Copies of this chain bind each other. A is one copy, B any other.
Amino acid sequence: MSFLDCVNCPLRIKPLFVPFTDEELRFMRSFKIGEVDVPAGGTVVNEGEQTDHLFTVLQGMGTRSVLLEDGRRQVINFVFPGDFVGLQATLMGEMKHTVRAITPMRLCSFARKRLWEMFRDQPARAYDLTWIAAVEEHFLGENIATLGQRDATERMSWALLRIWRRLQAVGLVRGTTVPLPFRQQDVADALGLSLVHTNKTVARLRRDGLAIWSGGQLTVPDLERLARAAGIENLREVVRPIL
């Protein structure tokens, strides 16, 4: 094959993910049908559409977003390596949000048609997929709590910390710095803030040395301090399966 063999997948062995059994590894190698590259700015899946494929992000970052009728956009959350994409299209008949690539992305692809086969023959993998959905649900719940209860500074601290930790978990940290390719507008749409206020909030965190986001890089000198600003106590990332 011309694409990455799951055997050599650098992602699945990260401590963020539940390790594969031999049986699972064998199945995933047959389940994976290829890879898809999406250029920066491209669309992975589109709200309202069906897709023939399910994906696991191998490289790159993106956003999940929905559009309100009047054009307002909400970024539901960010998409990082290891995240699963396309479940809704398969189960509910259509995607309920759009996934857009911010950096160039490479995704492992699976055939939608064979998902049922997985449920029938690989209950352990089906269980893991449900687990993944439950974890996603948990994250969205956290997100709701942030939008509903935290002010702008707390929101921004919270978001930057979560992103930093997530990227660290997939090995994208160098020292105290991770790449952060999103525009301020993307983060504004994620946090429910205006672009202007987002900018001013980022500037404040930068001045205070809590989180330095600039030039596509995010540096967090002191995790604990940022966590305190965000009102987070638990810094541990939730371990989850990966498909």
Please pick, from B69, B70, B143, B231, the residue contacting A70 in the complex, using a CB distance under 8 A: B231
Copies of this chain per assembly: 2
Knowing A74-B148, A144-B140, A145-B76 are in contact, say whether A88-B126 is a contact too (CB < 8 A).
no
Asked whether any CB of chain B lies closer than 8 Å to the CB of A186, the reply is: no
Query: Interface segment, A115-123, A168-176, A196-204?
Result: A115-123
- The answer to whether A76 and B134 have CB atoms under 8 Å apart is no
Asked whether any CB of chain B lies closer than 8 Å to the CB of A218, the reply is: no
Please pick, from B126, B143, B238, the residue contacting A127 in the complex, using a CB distance under 8 A: B126
Closest to A147 in B: B147
Query: Interface segment, A7-15, A91-99, A159-167?
Result: A91-99
Convert A215-243 into 0s and 1s, putting 1 for each residue whose CB lies closer than 8 angstroms to a CB of B. Answer: 00000000000000001010000100000
- The answer to whether B76 and A141 have CB atoms under 8 Å apart is yes
Asked whether any CB of chain B lies closer than 8 Å to the CB of A2, the reply is: no
In chain A, residues 131-159, which have Cβ atoms closer than 8 Å to a Cβ of chain B? 131, 133-138, 140-145, 147-150
Closest to A89 in B: B134
On chain B, the residues within 8 Å of A74 by CB distance are: 144-145, 148-149
Asked whether any CB of chain B lies closer than 8 Å to the CB of A129, the reply is: yes
In the assembled complex, the Cα of A94 lies from the Cα of B16 at a distance in Å of: 18
- The answer to whether B96 and A138 have CB atoms under 8 Å apart is yes
Asked whether any CB of chain B lies closer than 8 Å to the CB of A43, the reply is: no
Besides the contacts A130-B133, A148-B191, A149-B192, what 15 more A-B pairs have beta carbons closer than 8 Å? A69-B231, A73-B149, A74-B145, A76-B141, A87-B134, A87-B137, A91-B135, A92-B138, A96-B142, A97-B141, A116-B123, A140-B141, A144-B144, A147-B148, A148-B190
Partner-B contacts on A (CB < 8 A): 64, 66, 68-70, 72-74, 76, 87-88, 91-92, 96-97, 116, 119-120, 123-124, 126-127, 129-131, 133-138, 140-145, 147-150, 189-192, 231, 233, 238
